[in-house]
Structure 1
Amino acid sequence: MAQSKPQLFTITHPAMGTVFTLYIYAGSREEADAKANPVFDEIDRLDDLLSNYKETSELSRINRLAAIQPVTTDPETFQFLAEALDWSARSDGAFDITVGKLMKAWGFFRKQGRVPMPAEFATLRKQTGWQKVRLNAARRTIRFTSPGIELDPGGIGKGFAVDKAVSILRSEQVAAAMLSAGSSTIYALGAPPGETGWKVEVPDPRNPAIVLSTVTLKDMSLSSANCSEKHFVLNGHLYCHIMDPKMLRPVEGMLQVTVTDPSATNSDALSNILFVRNPEDSRALMHSLPEDSALVIAGTQQKSVCYLMNWKAPVAPGHC
């Protein structure tokens, strides 16, 4: 019997505070669902492991105990923490997984935006800082050198889950699929039939109706960092959910960062790093990553500047 011609199926699944969407080519809906189920099971498993909203998660257990004693954790969680701290070191702290208390102080944890009182910042300074986390690879332990530290997986957790889910797709010998974590991090596996890759549109943050650039991805991830979905406005001022860990404040003067990288974990972290850092300071980091590219839009809605770092895709004329 001849095999059915592959068709594109779209399957969604809520997890990690967002909606994951799998675009997959398969011979039938039944085949697509059969391929998708273990992918979403893997994402749910990682959500149970790394969530800071679930008290039963491994990350929550670490947050409770690591300031008291070294905590032995599983190999996967240890790998996740090691990769997060590696990006902290490479970015000189622009990426920092210890912003848990900082996110709560600014009201982003339960979406109740607030500006901390001046007296709170001295305590927050003591409760923030990736250098206060110690990993022991031989014993697979983690400990905090200061009380009050809380890990927050935002900025890298979804990318880590996407990478693990894509490895499931590869093990199932899926030839063409794209997995999106709420559109902030995407991985394109293979290419649609007859195409060179998956076409992904990057919107203009100054006017979302405009497509700023269209990227063709094959075995590549793309992550975008912006404030459009997660922010609050107080007294006419917009506060973004992406924190500058050194300033202990939401980032100002940045509209959007889009990054491509062969790893979704890396693109997720790197998009946040470039959002926090001055664009000129990011060029050296991007130069050290020859497989990566970035499109950075800094400034305000009224006055902005584009920075293209190894970005090969065309950009809409007059918009950068």
Structure 2
Amino acid sequence: MASTPDSISVEGLTRRFGDRAVVDDVSFTVPGGQMTGFVGGNGAGKTTTMRMIMGVLGISEGTVRYGEHEITTADRRRFGYMPEERGLYPKQKILEQLVYLATLGGTDKAAATTEASELLDRFGLLDRAGDTVEKLSLGNQQRVQIIAAVMSQPVALVLDEPFSGLDPQAVDSMADLLREHTARGVPVLFSSHQLDLVERLCDRLVVLAQGQVRAQGTSAELRTAGPERYRVTLGSDAGWVRDLPGIHTVDVDGPTALIELDPGGGTGAAAGVDPTSTGSDPRVDALVRAALERGGVRELTRVVPALSDIYREVTA
């Protein structure tokens, strides 16, 4: 792996159709050697952004950089790209098509044939190599599209919904294949609606909504970006916690309350204290002392939000 792997940087990317900006001042980086998940609802602008990165769609404003320079056509030719709509020829034989596509990128025909055969075997499709694409199921067509994207050792991968329609075994095979590419320094950007899969595979996430970046960072960074929340269960009714200063009570159900620390009102995470510990903020300490005077504390737990909760909150 290169000592300084190249990254893809999107800077102020904007795409307008008439007066409407479908992608609006989008900026993020896909570091080399890492997987970046691109998530957002239908119409959020993910596909449009990827098309601009690949030069398939014109850029209204902003730039795309690869490494230290503005991306060139030559750079893009070395990228592996999987479009949202499959770009395969339905009536062409699978192996012949993969070899043809690889040779367009400059790969020797014999080397392309060997690589395509190995990848087809890896995805359980070698015995279908002589079939036309249209004879395959949609899931198997997706496998072939993935193989086409990773042929010829691409220097970067931009994949639009690569896991769509794949069974669990194929998902695992695809994940292993992507990890092999990141291990040699390749930046990988892929979009997906499967938040659990993105959370499991990705080093970083970019959340898009209405054409704008609403959140980005590692899973841990996104989870700790919001206010601290705790679930407290007391020995008696917890309604009184609503009166504590510096604490917002999200919900009370009998002896259990979900509380949120008002930003800037304490010393916890802002002072470098472990955000997963309890009692790290004076407001939490005050809550515990008050609870002990009223019958004790049965539970006090830091609530770490799931990625799906963060997604719903930032895209609302």
Higher RCO (CA-CA < 8 Å; seq separation 6+): 2
More strand by share: 1
How high is the TM-score relative to the length of structure 1?
0.26
Which of the pair is proportionally richer in helix? 2
Larger radius of gyration: 2
Give the TM-score normalised by structure 2: 0.26
